[in-house]
């Protein structure tokens, strides 16, 4: 939830709360050399090797060139020992996509010999895997960089890296080069597999290495991943072509590219073999899965149908775009089995006019029709959503439309945000006449409505027996275990720690707003029951 956003600054003229122009002052930069492999510059005494840099214009373009699928070896033998006896820390900001990228980065680092630590003083490499979705996510990263500067002064050999969505932004990279020259590596979302080479380059050259690709490139399979626990994320596609007017993701993550079904199925089968209990299929708009295949006709519904045949207890997915959610998918999900009863269906606003300005490509009525269809086909489905308040020009009436929609659908929970202008997106230059106080009040009212609906839904569970995947001890009480139902509700109950990682049946006897409490009724349940 964002609370500290400012009204939309006039980014074009630079009159807003932030003056971006100051990040582009390269008057003190000296070009040392330039060839087809990039350029070397010097800023304030620091030599910088720019292999490739972000370019907003190119990020916007959607080329027709084929995406290749490469099955390679990301860490060649000569780079495998580089991290022997050394340690890493990765700080991850943002969504599940970033969390999953961090698992890949950890996998690469471990193949290089690095081991993880939580102690900054012991770390030889610290990476910030960043999020660009809202301004406060970016502020947190720059705050963290400020702290790390002191560590770097004490320990000059420490390698500091910035990657993820912020690294895809021109203004962020330029700001780092100008003001945070102690950073050693900047790389983006499209070339994570290049990390071993970038580390080698930074270690040996002592230069700041920048390698950010503006075009998405190929799909790289077989990257190592360090997964923990009993739940795993699996990317089924990358990028987004929806271009909602407020959103930076299509620029930072590139065009939609689907992984081949055989690769996704093989990965999920392997996770089942390893004993994982749940997988979440990931994509910015999973419902567009397969639309880019030119040689086969295979949709997200087909993929979910194939998931049912894999012996893994639970399969989830996120995120759905209402526009592409079709009847085939609903009928596959209704078959149940290991496809759980949870649909995250971001609505963003309950007003058709605002949805139009957001370019969401569906109306309030169309969304509601879809939500009711899902509810009718999948009894006990948990419906969750994302909502933005204070979109430029949002009127009181339009906000009321959001409240009435929330109450009509009766969501189980929601991620709610105050609109945050993102440079380079169409909404950032729309006139924003909603005062911050009003936005904050709207957020509070919205959260109250979501809370009431969540509580009402939880009350309906009183006395029911639900299947729970036990995830660990509750945060505040070690005697209590915490887990999730198939519909993704948090459940607390008393039990032995040996149950962690198992599926158990719990009878609900007390409900709260954000979780439910119960008593275990059987020690474990069979897979897929
Ligand atoms: N692809 C997903 C979708 O369309 O629902 C979600 C992507 S985004 C990582 C998660 C959520 O962040 C969005 O659903 C939206 O509610 C919110 N968001 C994106 N851009 C935003 C912005 N500029 N200001 C506030 N919230 C934003
Ligand atoms: Fe952003 Fe819209 Fe794509 Fe979601 S669908 S990632 S909100 S552009």
Ligand nearest to the CA of 132: 1
**Closest C-alpha residue for ligand 2 atom 1:** 247
Q: Which pLDDT band, with edges at 50, 70 and 90, does 27 fall under? A: low
Compute the distance from residue 322 Cα to the ligand 1 centre, in Å.
14
What is the rounded CA–CA span in Å between residue 406 and residue 400? Answer: 10
Instruction: State mean pLDDT over 95-109.
Output: 96
Extract the tokens encoding 29.
């930069």
pLDDT (tens digit per residue) in 450-493: 999 999 999 999 999 999 999 999 888 888 999 999 999 999 99
Amino acid 245: pLDDT: 98
Amino acid 177: pLDDT: 92
Instruction: State if residue 422 touches ligand 1 by the CB under 6 angstroms criterion.
Output: yes
Flag whether pLDDT at 10 surpasses 70.
Answer: no
Lowest mean pLDDT among 14-18, 69-73, 518-522: 14-18
Q: Which pLDDT band, with edges at 50, 70 and 90, does 60 fall under? A: confident
Q: What is the atom index within ligand 1 of the atom nearest the CA of 346?
A: 5
Select from 409, 380, 410 the least CA-distant residue to 486.
380
Comparing 392 with 136, the larger pLDDT belongs to: 392
Amino acid 116: pLDDT: 97
**Strand 480-485 vs strand 490-494: parallel, antiparallel, or unpaired?**
antiparallel
Instruction: State if residue 454 touches ligand 1 by the CB under 6 angstroms criterion.
Output: no
User: Which residues have C-beta atoms less than 6 Å from ligand 2?
Assistant: 240, 242-244, 247, 249-250, 284-285, 321
Q: What mean pLDDT is reported for the chain?
A: 91
Mutate to test the pocket of ligand 2, among 96, 137, 240 (most ligand atoms within 8 A of CB): 240
Mutate to test the pocket of ligand 1, among 92, 324, 391, 417 (most ligand atoms within 8 A of CB): 417
pLDDT (tens digit per residue) in 252-280: 999 999 999 999 999 999 999 999 999 99
Compute the distance from residue 133 Cα to the ligand 1 centre, in Å.
7
Query: What Å distances lie between residue 443 and 8, 354, 453, CA to CA?
Result: 17, 16, 15
Cβ neighbours, 10 Å, residue 475: 8
Continuous segment of H or E residues that includes residue 509: strand 503-511
Cα radius of gyration (the chain): 24
Compute the distance from residue 249 Cα to the ligand 2 centre, in Å.
6
Q: pTM for this one?
A: 0.91
Compute the distance from residue 97 Cα to the ligand 1 centre, in Å.
13
**Closest C-alpha residue for ligand 1 atom 5:** 346
DSSP 145-187: HHHHHHHHHH-TT-EEEEEEGGGG-HHHHHHHHHH-TT--EEE
Instruction: State mean pLDDT over 217-246.
Output: 94
Flag whether pLDDT at 194 surpasses 90.
Answer: yes
**Strand 38-43 vs strand 29-35: parallel, antiparallel, or unpaired?**
antiparallel
Instruction: State mean pLDDT over 493-519.
Output: 95
Amino acid 72: pLDDT: 76
Provide the percentage of residues in the chain whose pLDDT is more than 90: 80
DSSP 342-371: EEE---B-S-HHHHHHHT-S--HHHHHHHH
Extract the tokens encoding 488.
């993704």
Compute the distance from residue 248 Cα to the ligand 1 centre, in Å.
9
């Amino acid at each position: 939830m964002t609370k500290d956003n400012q009204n939309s600054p006039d980014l074009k003229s630079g009159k807003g709360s932030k003056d971006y122009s100051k990040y582009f002052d390269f008057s003190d930069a000296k070009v040392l050399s330039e060839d087809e492999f990039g350029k070397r510059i010097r800023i304030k005494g620091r030599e910088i090797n720019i292999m490739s840099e972000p370019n907003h214009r190119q990020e916007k373009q959607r080329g027709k060139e084929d995406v290749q699928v490469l099955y390679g070896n990301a860490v060649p033998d000569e780079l495998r020992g580089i991290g022997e006896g050394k340690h890493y820390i990765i700080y991850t900001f943002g969504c599940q996509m970033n969390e999953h990228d961090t698992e890949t980065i950890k996998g690469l680092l471990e193949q290089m010999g690095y081991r993880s630590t939580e102690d900054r003083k012991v770390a030889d490499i610290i990476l910030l895997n960043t999020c660009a979705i809202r301004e406060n996510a970016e502020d947190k990263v720059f705050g963290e960089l400020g702290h790390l500067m002191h560590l770097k002064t004490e320990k000059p050999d420490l390698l500091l890296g910035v990657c993820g969505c912020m690294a895809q932004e021109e203004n962020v990279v330029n700001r780092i080069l100008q003001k945070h020259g102690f950073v050693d590596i900047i790389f983006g979302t499209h070339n994570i597999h290049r990390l071993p080479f970038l580390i080698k380059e930074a270690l040996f050259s002592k230069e700041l290495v920048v390698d950010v690709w503006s075009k998405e490139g190929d799909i790289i399979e077989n990257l190592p991943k360090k997964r923990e626990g009993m739940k795993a994320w699996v990317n089924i596609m990358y990028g987004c072509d929806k271009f909602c007017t407020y959103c930076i993701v299509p620029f930072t993550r590139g065009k939609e590219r689907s992984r081949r079904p055989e690769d996704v199925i093989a990965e999920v089968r392997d996770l089942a073999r390893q004993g994982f209990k749940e997988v979440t299929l990931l994509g910015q708009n999973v419902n567009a899965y397969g639309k880019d295949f030119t040689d086969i006709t295979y949709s997200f519904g087909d993929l979910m149908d194939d998931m049912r045949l894999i012996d893994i207890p639970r399969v989830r997915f996120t995120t759905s775009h209402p526009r592409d959610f079709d009847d085939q998918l609903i009928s596959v999900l209704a078959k149940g089995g290991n496809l759980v009863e949870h649909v995250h269906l971001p609505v963003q606003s309950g007003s058709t006019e605002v949805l139009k300005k957001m370019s969401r490509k569906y109306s309030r009525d169309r969304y509601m029709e879809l939500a009711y269809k899902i509810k009718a086909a999948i009894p006990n489905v948990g419906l969750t959503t994302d909502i933005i308040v204070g979109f430029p020009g949002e009127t009181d009436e339009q906000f009321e439309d959001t409240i009435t929609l929330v109450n009509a659908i009766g969501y189980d929970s929601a991620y709610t945000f105050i609109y945050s202008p993102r440079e380079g997106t169409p909404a950032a230059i729309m006139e924003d006449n909603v005062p911050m106080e009003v936005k904050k009040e709207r957020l509070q009212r919205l959260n109250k409505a979501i809370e009431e609906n969540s509580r009402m839904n939880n009350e309906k569970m009183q006395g029911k027996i639900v299947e729970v995947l036990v995830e660990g001890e509750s945060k505040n009480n070690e005697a209590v275990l915490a887990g999730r139902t198939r519909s993704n509700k948090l459940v607390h109950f008393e039990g032995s720690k040996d149950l962690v990682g198992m599926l158990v049946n719990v009878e609900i006897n007390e409900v709260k707003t954000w979780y439910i409490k119960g008593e275990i009724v059987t020690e474990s349940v069979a897979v897929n029951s």
